[in-house]
Amino acid sequence: MTENPSTPNRDSDLPYQPAVGSDYPDRHSLANEIHSRPYMRLEPPLNISHIATLSGEGGAGTDHAHVARLCQVLGAPEPEPEATHHWCEVDSIRFRWERHTEFSTYTFITPGDGSEPFSNPAIYRIPEEWRAYLPGKLLVALHIEVENRDQPVRDTWTIADFFGGNTITGSTLSEGRAQAWTDHQIYADGFQRILLRDIDLDPRRAGRLIQRLLEMETYRLIAMLAFPLAKTALTRIGRVEQKLNLLIFELSKTSAPTGERELLAHLTELAIETENIVAETSYRFGAAKAYHKIVERRLKDIRETRLDELQMMGSFMTRRLAPAMETCETVATRLESLSRRVARAGDLLRTRVDISLEEQNHDLLISMDRRAQLQVRLQQTVEGLSVVAISYYLVGLIAYTAKGASKFGMPWSPDIVTLVALPIVLLAVWSGVRRIRRAITEKHKDGA
């Protein structure tokens, strides 16, 4: 079948032009992600040194610059400015760098020379001044010695001698195509050791198997970073729980508003401490859970089976890794439960404080109502006295006027004029005071 000449392909010089619609902006980067960090083709015998350094989420630039310096020393191409992984081969040295979220891995591969395992690690082919100033904190350091199938078969005791006579674990890997041994110990040079024997591995399968072993050990230790944090958090959570239990007991005995406000202040302190623990542990616990899943997948990928009478590498590894991850998960669950308890206790205490305040406000309103009634009564009394006083002065003025008018021949007696004017004045003053009070009241209502 011949290829349609109008169909673009990888070897075409024509510019890329999609036949249907327009591309999503990140389509190519998303599609090419499957090709990133490919497996290498590896043929035993090999000396492999693998390092992982924890430099944090902000350490990518420093790690990239350090890799560029090594490439300059080796005379190899430098990584692209935004690259997160890079590999090169110079003078029989293969070098691979990968930048992850919070750590970087450096893998060095050199051909084996047939010498005794672990006597000539690949890392010592790299300049010492570069190794001495490796950014970040060293977390993983591993030597893998890969022997070819032509090497004489050794017994378990001879293999144990390569590990300082320590107790070793061993497994048959990749459906019987390889065998591996290790003691999970850190030696004087700071590295752990794995001896891998090729039985029937092609270069691609060997590359996949070795990368899975490296990733398995790397992600195991990265996941274990959460374990010390979990133990520390467990102690802090216990103290907060004790304080919370005591506070809830005091809450059941306290009825005074002042005591409730003090308890609320203490509860707020517990809430702050709980949230501090959550902030310090949530990222690490989440990362540990993700890394642990990767380790479990890599253990399945290597297809491990029992070798002689040795304990398998995977079962020895998970013997402590699984309980540590369960501890982290338990602490995370307990911390979430504590956060909910603190929130519920806070809601309960705030409700009690609100009820107490409402009762105080109710009593205050009743007191204000009584005072208002007293003020109304007093106002009415004052109004009555005001009517009498005003009427008294007006009647007095009328009496003086009548007396003066009698001197000029007024036919009526001043006393009779005063007597007749008295009820009229009282009625007029009382009516005027009521009209003024009504006008003020209506104006107040309109303003409200």
Q: What are phi and psi of 142, to 5 degrees?
A: -145, 130
Do 332 and 252 belong together in one domain?
yes
Q: Is 357 helix (H, G, I), strand (E, B) or coil?
A: helix
Residues above pLDDT 90, as percent of the chain: 52
* Predicted local confidence at residue 254, as pLDDT: 64
Q: Does residue 153 form part of some domain?
A: yes
Q: Which of 334, 362, 390 is the last residue of a domain?
A: 362
pLDDT of residue 447: 59
More confident residue, 88 or 438: 88
Residues 66 and 51 sit within 8 Å (Cβ to Cβ) = no
Q: What is the pLDDT of residues 291-319, one digit of tens each?
A: 999 999 999 999 999 998 899 999 999 88
- Within-domain flag for 179: yes
Taking the C-alpha atoms of residue 311 and residue 332, their distance in angstroms, rounded to an integer, is 32
Q: Is residue 176 part of a domain?
A: yes
d(CA 195, CA 177) in angstroms, rounded, equals: 14
Same domain, 388 and 295: no
Last residue of a domain, one of 362, 390, 405: 362
Tens of pLDDT, residue by residue over 327-361, are 999 999 999 999 998 888 888 777 777 777 777 77
pLDDT attached to residue 201 = 93
In a domain? residue 219:
no
Structure tokens at 180: 């591996």
Q: What is the pLDDT of residue 420?
A: 77
Strands (E), 3-150: 46-54, 85-90, 93-99, 103-111, 137-147
Determine the pLDDT at residue 255. Answer: 63
pLDDT surpasses 70 at 13: no
- Is the model's pLDDT at 6 over the cut of 50? no
* Whole-number pLDDT of residue 283: 93
On whether residue 434 sits in a domain, the answer given is yes
The verdict on residue 194 lying in a domain is yes
Q: Between these two residues, 13 and 332, which has the higher pLDDT value? A: 332
| Pairwise CA distance, residues 419 & 340, whole Å | 85
Cis peptide before 79 (omega within 30 of 0): no
Q: How is residue 33 annotated by DSSP?
A: G
- Considering the domain architecture, whether residues 304 and 326 belong to the same structural domain is answered as yes
Q: Name which of 13-22, 166-175, 371-380 the model is least confident about.
A: 13-22
Cα 20 off chain centre by: 42
Q: Which phi-psi region, left, alpha or beta, contains residue 224 (left: φ > 0; alpha: ψ -120 to 50)?
A: alpha
Q: What per-residue confidence (pLDDT) applies to 1?
A: 34
State yes or no: pLDDT of 256 exceeds 70. no
Q: Is residue 11 part of a domain?
A: no
Q: Yes or no: say if 55 and 62 are a contact pair by the CB < 8 Å rule.
A: yes
Q: Which of 285, 268, 313, 59 is nearest to 174 (CA)?
A: 313
pLDDT band (50, 70, 90) for residue 9? very low
Q: Does residue 328 sit in the same domain as residue 420?
A: no
Q: What is the structure's pLDDT at 8?
A: 43
When pLDDT is cut at 50, 70 and 90, the band that residue 431 belongs to is: confident
Would you state the structure tokens that stand for residue 71, as one six-digit string?
């490439």
Q: What pLDDT sits at residue 22?
A: 76
pLDDT classification of 435: cutoffs 50, 70, 90? confident
Residues 96 and 152 in one domain: yes
Which comes out higher in pLDDT, residue 192 or 430? 192
Backbone angles phi, psi at 96, to 5 degrees: -135, 130
Whole-model pTM: value is 0.75
Cα gap 146→166, rounded to integer Å: 20
Collapsed DSSP state (helix, strand, coil) of residue 317: helix
Q: Which of 246-260, 262-276, 387-401 has the lowest mean pLDDT?
A: 246-260
One-letter amino acid for residue 397 of the chain: L
Please tell me the predicted confidence (pLDDT) of residue 199. 94
pLDDT above 90 (res 249) = no
Count how many domains the chain has. Answer: 3
Tracing tokens 């010390």 back to the chain, one arrives at 228
> DSSP labels for 260-324?
HHHHHHHHHHHHHHHHHHHHHHHHHHHHHHHHHHHHHHHHHHTT-EE-TTSPPHHHHHHHHHHHH
Clarify whether residues 48 and 197 are in a common domain.
Answer: yes
Q: What is the pLDDT of residue 193?
A: 96
Q: What band does 286 get if pLDDT is binned at 50, 70 and 90?
A: very high
Please provide the average confidence, as pLDDT, over all residues in the chain. Answer: 85
Residue given tokens 């005071």 in the structure block: 433
Residues 157-205 pLDDT 10s: 999 999 999 999 999 999 999 999 999 999 999 999 999 999 999 999 9
| Cα Dmax for the chain | 161
Same domain, 179 and 236: no
- Residue 256 is part of which domain span? 226-362
Contact between 114 and 151 under an 8 Å Cβ cutoff? The reply is no
What is the model's pLDDT at position 436?
A: 75
Q: In terms of domains, do 197 and 75 share one?
A: yes
Where among 137, 167, 202 does a domain terminate? 202
DSSP codes of every residue in 122-160: GGGGS-HHHHHT-SSEEEEEEEEEEE-TTSPP--HHHHH
For residue 343, what is the domain's CATH number? 1.20.58
Beta bridge partners of 85: 98
Q: Does 314 share its domain with 194?
A: no
Do 353 and 418 fall within a single domain? no
The DSSP output letter for 198 is E
Would you say residue 97 has pLDDT above 90?
yes
Ordered DSSP codes for 393-415: HHHHHHHHHHHHHHHTT-SS-HH
With vertex at residue 328, the alpha carbon angle to CA 324 and CA 332, rounded to the nearest 5 degrees, is 165
Binned at pLDDT 50, 70 and 90, residue 5 comes out as very low
Q: Look up residue 293 and give its amino acid.
A: K
Find, among 245, 247, 281, the residue nearest to 262 by Cα.
247
Mean pLDDT of 383-403: 76
Are 52 and 181 contained in the same domain? yes
Q: What is the reported pLDDT for 33?
A: 67
Structure tokens at 267: 């509860």
Of the CA atoms within 13 Å of residue 177, those in its CB half-sphere come to: 16
406 shares a domain with 274: no
Q: Does the pLDDT of residue 415 top 70, yes or no?
A: yes
Look at residue 29 and tell me if it is in a domain: no
